[in-house]
Each structure stands twice: as structure tokens, then as C-alpha cells.
Amino acid sequence: MLNYFIVVFVGGGGGLHSARVYHADVPNLADGFPMDILVANLVATFLLAVVTALHRRQIVSDRTNMLIGTGTMGGLSTFSSFAYGVVVLMSASTASAIVASVYVVTSLALGYVAVVVGLKIGGLSSP
């Protein structure tokens, strides 16, 4: 049990660490579109799907799946910043409310594509 604790902790910290390094390089667009969160979420979603598919085929061990899937990719992606960002944009102005709507639809649609492609690349047929 303690081993799993350490694995998830290290994985989660490492994922967020890469997110921080990454966020420093991806600027927010001038219109307020939260590009950094979108990119982090899509990258994490795609890689989580790949690892999950490899885990299903037993190419990746339980522990590696926890480290990378639960820890790193769960830590790299975020829902709280996504949701709060949308709320702030929605309440700011009509223009930013439109940006927020595009952001939500883009995140969900591309996120779903990332999962399907990730599972496929990891070796499973798409759902």
C-alpha cells in the first residue's frame, strides 16, 4: 500500500512539474483563450489513453499504469482550472462568453478524439 502511495505521489508531482514547465512556454492568446490548459489536457488525455490500451494488453504493468496514468497524466490534466476559467470568461463579457463556449466545445471534442486515437495507437480498436 505504501508503495502505491509513493508511486501516485511521485507521478502526480512529476506530471504537474511538466505542466508548469510547459505552461511557461505556451502563452495565453490575447483573446483570453486558455490555450495552455487546453494543450496540457489534450496531451494528458492522449497519453493516458495510450497507457490504458497498453495496460489492457498487459504490456504495461499495474504499477507503471498507476505511475503514468493515475499519477502523471491525472496530475498534468486539470478540471478545476478548466471549469473556473470558463466561469470567469462567461461572466466577463459577451465576447469572452463566446470564447468560453468555443473553449468548452473544443476541449470536449478534441479530448474525445485524443482518447479514441490514443486507445487505437495503444493497440485497441476505437469504441
- Which residues are at the interface with other proteins (CB under 8 A)? 4-5, 8-17, 19-21, 23-24, 28, 34, 41, 44-45, 47-49, 52, 66, 70-71, 73-88, 90-91, 104, 107-108, 111-112, 114-116, 119, 127
Rounded to the nearest whole angstrom, what is the least distance from the CB of residue 32 to other proteins in the complex?
Answer: 8
CA 115 to chain CA centroid, nearest Å:
10
The helix (H) or strand (E) run that includes residue 39 is helix 35-56
User: Which one, 10 or 64, has the nearer CB to other proteins?
Assistant: 10
Nearest distance, CB of residue 78 and other proteins, angstroms: 4
Query: Look-up: residue for cell 479514441?
Result: 116
d(CA 85, CA 90): 8
C-beta of 21 vs 58, nearer to other proteins = 21
Cβ pair 87, 36 in contact under 8 A = no
Cβ closer to other proteins: 44 or 99? 44
Q: Which amino acid is residue 80, in one-letter code?
A: S
